[in-house]
Amino acid sequence: MNIAIRIAAAILSVPPDVLAPMVPPMAPPPRNELESQLRDEIDSALSGSCSSAVTDSAPLFLLSESETNFVNCNSGLPGTDGDLFKKDDELGKPGTYGEITLLGARQLFYHMGLHNNNHEAQNNYQFFDLGSGGGRLVIQSHLELPSVTRSVGIELSPTRHNIAMRRLNELKSNDDLKRIRHLARKSWALDYNHAAAIDLYEGDLFDLDISKATHIYLSSLCFTETMLERIVDKMEAEGSALKIVASLRLLPLGSNQGGRVVALGDKPWQEFVQMTWNRGGDGCPVFFYAVKPTA
């Protein structure tokens, strides 16, 4: 949370969450001119085809009826039963699309501890986006964060996965992927060059190997409790390298007491992060969980 909000809350003797919605979403300020240039380059590179969700003029992420049914599990989700999303009627369906903005991504990275440019940056952080849509968050993490040596996204919708791959291939073909990543290292004054990878998969997130993931983001607003329980079980059973999990919904903890290699902390903290559906508002609450080994 913004340090100014914390100070103001202390002065006024109110919880920081009371003031947070009153402050416009802001990204952490760039630390030098090179980082400011880096952000401009990334904003330019990721504008256009990956920049927004459905609009009246360009319904880029709009799915066919059959694909919407597939994503919503009306015609079945690989590896799950067909009723998985049908139990929480008050939720939107997974076929509904919205995404984190470029500014919101910088807020998210900061709160997840990925903006460190000290010795911590030499850790092999691996950022995973489970439900990566058009892939912009995954690509931005690769371009902007030298601390991240592998960025991974998985998306069930073929249409949205194809959009992500198109953007990634464009950045590769015009050499922007390599050039901007190099600028990021320069802006962090890093003289080492870890080999960095980016992987975008189409498929069921429950089939993805997350054993090397250190940071996981869940755009979970349309996930039911049943699905969230399964995701928590998967992360705690397989996520041996996990450090931080961020989710748009509170996660149901304690359902898997056996076979865990890590445990999500039971005291998540909340921050406000800008999304496409509240770009001009106060941001969307995101819940962050510190992860600890069970042994």
Q: What is the pLDDT of residues 16-37, one digit of tens each?
A: 666 666 666 688 899 999 999 9
Is 4 contained in some domain? Answer: no
Instruction: With respect to residue 45, please indicate whether it lies within any of the assigned structural domains.
Output: yes
Burial of 24 by CB count in 10 Å (0-12 exposed, 13-18 middle, 19+ buried)?
A: exposed
Residue 21 covered by a domain: no
**Number of structural domains found in the chain:** 1
Burial class (CB in 10 A: 0-12, 13-18, 19+), 257: exposed
Instruction: Report whether 25 contacts 274 (CB < 8 A).
Output: yes
| Non-local CB neighbours of 179 within 8 Å, separated by 6+ positions | none
Both tokens of residue 198?
């980016």
Global pTM exceeds 0.85? no
Are the beta carbons of 8 and 19 closer than 8 angstroms? yes
Helices (H) and strands (E) in the chain, counts: 9, 8
Reply yes or no on whether the pLDDT at 179 is more than 90. yes
Question: Is position 1 within any domain?
Answer: no
pLDDT at 76: 34
Position 2 in a domain: no
For residue 2, pLDDT beyond 70: no
Run of H or E including 55:
none
The CATH number of whichever domain residue 253 belongs to comes to 3.40.50.150
Q: Which helix (H) or strand (E) holds 269?
A: strand 269-273
Report the alpha-carbon distance of residue 203 to residue 156 in Å, rounded.
5
Taking alpha carbons only, the member of 169, 31, 46 closest to residue 100 is: 46
Is the alpha carbon torsion for 218, 294, 121, 206 positive or negative? negative
Say if CB 76 and CB 70 are below 8 A apart.
yes
Cα–Cα–Cα angle for 120, 290, 255, rounded to 5 degrees:
145
For residue 165, the enclosing domain spans 26-293
Least trusted range by pLDDT, from 42-56, 107-121, 159-173: 42-56
Name every residue whose Cβ is closer than 8 Å to that of residue 4 and which is 6 or more positions away in sequence: 23
6 in a domain, yes or no?
A: no
Domain contains 237: yes
pLDDT (tens digit per residue) in 109-160: 999 999 876 554 456 899 999 999 899 999 999 999 999 999 999 999 899 9
- Is 130 contained in some domain? yes
C-alpha span between 28 and 26 (Å, rounded): 7
